[in-house]
Structure 1
Amino acid sequence: MSKDRIERDITIAAPVERVWAVLTEPEHVGKWFGQGEPTPVDLRPGGVMYLDHGEYGQFPTTIVKVDPPHFFSYRWASAFPGEVAVEGNSTLVEFTLTPEGDGTHLRVVETGFAALTIPEGRQATASYESHSGGWTGQVDNIRQYAEQLAA
């Protein structure tokens, strides 16, 4: 098994447009990944989305691709809180949204762990193992949050 690629799939009982909003709009991102406050998001390639991971740090992710409402990706330097994510210090996180009946199939893929040198003190929060477990919980957070929003 490769320790370079994490994939999580989930079906969400909400339309693609709502799931897209949950993943990309400031007032929603901070609810499912953050401390509940709006998350600054400059939604364009090269723009920055700031993820607040509480005690683990603040992470200025760099947006790579935006194709509303079907695909969104960013670089995340989870081993380097406060550093802008660039190739060489980050993984690539990709969200693919596909309509499925009245709902949405969401696939989250994070790659690039094999090329990273993670400082010893950050292994517990920035390693493949940490993110593998983390995404299991986060996709469920996304599902729960999107499903409870008003239609």
Structure 2
Amino acid sequence: MSENTTAARERDRIEKEIDIAAPPERVWAVLTEPEHVGAWFGHGEPAPVDLRPGGTMLLDHGADGKFPTTIVTVEPPRRFAYRWASAYPGEQTDEGNSTLVEFTLTPVGEGTRLRVVETGFAGLRITEERRAAALYESHVNGWADQLANIRKYAETGETDGVDGGAGTDG
């Protein structure tokens, strides 16, 4: 395998995890229920969520637009996954315009270890005007911010005001 192939594979996958002092059922609710998604990802307004494989969850990214995600996996309270087209505000997802975001919740003592994996950057079609918001680099920074925001929200019901979700630098 060449160095370029290895580098491309490494830049195709983001993996982050964080420990949260709340049970998996609480973290699951934060990730999937409209009033909670709207608080940690959006602008405080409930986010429409049709919580089933093939359903849609609308992520409000502020000035960058609203993103209808396609829900892929719903296994409460352990696994949740969706596809989102961060380069295409307002458009439904397909294999070429979206990445796959997967959350895994693992009980750790009385809390939860939350792991997020986002894949699919290598094959992503990105318009020039959306490159900064949809590239791997912005999502790496965005997920670091969002996991901290999810933790604070799950533990206290408050957010740090990180606005617009993974795909922004905060």
Q: What does residue range 126-145 of structure 1 map to in structure 2 within 5 Å?
A: 126-145=134-153
Residue 114 of structure 1 aligns to a residue whose secondary structure is coil
What's the CA shift string for 1:19-40, capped at 9, x where partnerless? 0000000000000000110000
Q: What residue is the counterpart of 2:76 in the other structure?
A: 68
Q: Does 1:25 align with 2:33?
A: yes
Q: Give, as a single letter, the amino acid of the residue that structure 2 aligns with 1:93.
A: V
Give the drift of 1:146.
Answer: 0.1
Q: Which secondary structure does the structure 1 equivalent of 2:93 belong to?
A: coil
Unmatched segments (≥5 aa) in structure 1 = none
User: What CA deviation, in whole Å up to 9, does each residue of 1:57-91 have, x standing for no partner?
Assistant: 10000000100000000000000000011211100
- Greater Rg over alpha carbons, structure: 2
- Residue 125 of structure 2 aligns to a residue whose secondary structure is coil
- SS in structure 1 of the partner of residue 151 of structure 2: helix
Cα RMSD, aligned residues only:
1.1
Question: Could you tell me which residue of structure 2 aligns to residue 12 of structure 1?
Answer: 20
Q: CA deviation at 1:109?
A: 0.4
Unaligned 5+ runs, structure 2: 1-6, 158-170
Q: Where in structure 1 do 4 or more consecutive aligned residues deviate above 4 Å?
A: none
The answer on 1:111 being equivalent to 2:114 is no
Query: Does 2:134 align with 1:121?
Result: no
TM normalised by structure 2 equals 0.86
Aligned to 1:48: 56
Task: Please give the alpha-carbon distance, in whole angstroms, between the structure 2 residues aligned to 1:93 and 1:58.
Answer: 17
For normalisation by structure 1, the TM-score amounts to: 0.97
Match among 143, 155, 164 for residue 147 of structure 1? 155
Which residue in 2 is equivalent to 1:89?
97
In the alignment, the residues of structure 1 paired with residue 96 and residue 51 of structure 2 have an alpha-carbon distance, to the nearest angstrom, of: 22
- Structure 1: how far apart are the matches of 2:147 and 2:61? 15
Shift of 1:131: 0.4
